[in-house]
Amino acid sequence: MNRDHAVVVGGSLAGLLAARVLTGHFDRVTLIERDRFPAEAVFRPGVPQARHLHVLWTRGLELMEHLFPGLEDTLITAGAEEIRVPADALWLTSSGWRARFDLTRLLTFSRPLLDWAVRARLGGTGNSGGGGPSVEVLEGQEATGLVARGHDVAGVELRSGGALEADLVVDATGRGSRAPAWLAALGYPAPPETLVDPLLGYASRYYAIPPGFDPGWKALYLQADPPATRRTGGLFPQEGGRWICSLSGAGRDYGPTDEEGFLEFAKGLRSPVLYEAIRDAEPLTPITGFRRTANHRRHYERLPAWPRGFVVMGNAACAFNPIYGQGMSVAAISALALDRCLRDAAAGFERRFQRRVARSASGAWLIATGEDLRYRETEAAPAGLRTRLINAYVDRVVATANADRRVCSSLLDVLALSSAPASLFSPAVLARVTANRIRPPVPRLP
């Protein structure tokens, strides 16, 4: 494959990370985005989930810092909050309150702040140690199809007319990706797809953190306990001295977007502590809803043939219920996989990359779908015996982790995607979990 020109379609976080990787392998890199990027850290239409809670777990933060040295300092300087987990958080799990061990950390911030910080660094990759050219950004442009060279890909067609030739095209257009149709036009079959939809909807708004508010915690996370309860609530600090409050409910028990309904929903969570925190706090924004939360996987790795010059990544390949906060980390892991595949000069890297994308998503997919299959209303193939047995064991892990520092550390490593889910079955964890035979009732607030 020539390494003259690479095109990334979609200015999602996955697209931005892909563009950064490609600067180390191609002479020119072009990013196509149908929106126009704002000059500041403000919301844009192309990221509809941006108005809801975002956290960046350890693994994702490490990889983004590797791609963009100094990114973490930029975020913290701009007001992003570092949360020690679970030391700084009140965390009500399905099995009760979690002891506040000091084990790991995450960053919490608005999504516009992260995208702005990444774009700022991406624009200077050619002269800031990035090892490659700057990225040319075509804003207000939309790719409508692939330029074919036989059954392979040689660029993208633009809605404005004409085409953009490329040696490699990366589809990072998110859930709305039209890659299946684009591949069909080249004579390839549609990929098998898996959908697990818990019918979950968010409602979120910002509040000013009350002056002098110091209850001994920085963040609050109240999980559902399916199938008995379907509601989850999160209250996390973000830049600007404000909280982001996100309420969600599965099984069509959506978080409401009206004033009275929002507070009543918060009051109906498994603990009143979140409601009591926001009840008299000053709202800073209207309430915003979001319901496109299904887990959706396109199995490109299973296709019998694949074109040269084209790959798919991010939510375009595998999208997760965002309540578990792992999509950004999976995008970073996939970007690292793209870099590694491009370092291998052997032919057919595209198919190897699609297999790596599938592997990169597998842990997060197992976590998200395993949890979502607990809801009776979830639209999916019925949970098999294996899933039910795993969920029963995970219940024991969660209950043990609430009071056992070592098991909690192992569980957090899995949630942060630093370890594979299979690590929860290691002899050390298994022994401590099996010794904890009783699932305790939900205790009082610690």
Residue 425 has pLDDT above 50, yes or no: yes
Model-wide pTM > 0.85: yes
Residue pair 116/41 in contact by the 8 Å Cβ criterion: yes
Rounded to the nearest 5°, which phi and psi values hold at 45?
-60, -30
Rounded to the nearest 5°, which phi and psi values hold at 222?
-115, 110
Look over the chain and give the mean of its residue pLDDT values, rounded to a whole number: 93
The ranges of the chain annotated as CATH 3.30.70.2450 are 199-290
The ranges of the chain annotated as CATH 3.50.50.60 are 5-48+111-195+295-367
Look at residue 127 in the predicted model and tell me its pLDDT: 37
Map tokens 């090892």 to a residue: 131
Taking the CA atoms of 407, 413, 416 and 422 in sequence, report the sign of the dihedral they define. negative
Within 10 A of 403 (CB to CB), how many other CB atoms are there?
16
How far apart, in Å, are the Cα atoms of 66 and each of 364, 368, 372, 378, 445? 21, 26, 32, 38, 39
Alpha-carbon distance 168 to 218, whole Å? 45
Residue 287 has pLDDT above 50, yes or no: yes
pLDDT in tens, 106-157: 999 999 999 999 999 997 554 334 456 789 999 999 999 999 998 899 999 9
CATH number of 199-290: 3.30.70.2450
Alpha-carbon distance 319 to 150, whole Å? 30
pLDDT in tens, 389-403: 999 999 999 999 999
Within 10 A of 362 (CB to CB), how many other CB atoms are there?
15
Let me know if domain 5-48+111-195+295-367 sits in CATH 3.90.1150.10. Answer: no
For the segment 246-272, the average pLDDT, to the nearest whole number, is 96
pLDDT in tens, 156-174: 999 988 999 999 999 999 9
Look at residue 151 in the predicted model and tell me its pLDDT: 87
